[in-house]
Amino acid sequence: MRVSLKSCRRILLTSAGLFVAVALVVAAGVILPVKADIFPYAAPQRAVAAFWGNIAFNLLAATVLVFIALRATGRSRLSTTVLGLLVSLALLLAIALTDAAFAYQTHGVAMQTVPILLFLCSATDLLTAALVTTAVFLFPKKT
């Protein structure tokens, strides 16, 4: 099956947009409630730092995807390796967000929006991993 380079670039740019969307949702909808968490044994400072790290990795992945989408002229070993690493990163980010979502499910009624947002962000990271994997296989070989 032959797919155009333009289609693969669209997939990569869409994936970058999804990474940015996850970063924005975590920054706007998760960090503030987590800072105000009064659940016993909660460690809001450490949790907020972990969420900022997640945001940074999502934005870094989005930046790399945009760079590859705009600069790549075909599938090479380097682009395939980098995209494979980004898929692995997206899966790790999804696992981290899922773990946090399960942890916040027991933090009371005031925190119920946090696990919902975290589950949605985790699903979005999984979708992004699937899209990037698809782009890797569809990317035309460099001539």
Q: How many domains does the chain have?
A: 1
Structural domain contains residue 119 = yes
pLDDT single digits (tens) 81-129: 999 999 999 999 999 999 989 988 877 776 788 899 999 999 999 999 9
Structural domain contains residue 143 = no
More confident residue, 69 or 37: 69
Res. 11 pLDDT band, cuts 50 70 90: very high
Task: Report the share of the chain in percent with pLDDT over 90.
Answer: 58
The pLDDT value recorded for residue 38 is 65
Beta-ladder partners of 75: 141
CB–CB of 133/34 below 8 Å?
Answer: no
CA-nearest of 117, 134, 139, 105 to 37 is 105
Domain, as residue range, for 38: 5-138
CA separation for the pair 86, 49 (Å, rounded): 22
CB–CB of 104/115 below 8 Å?
Answer: yes
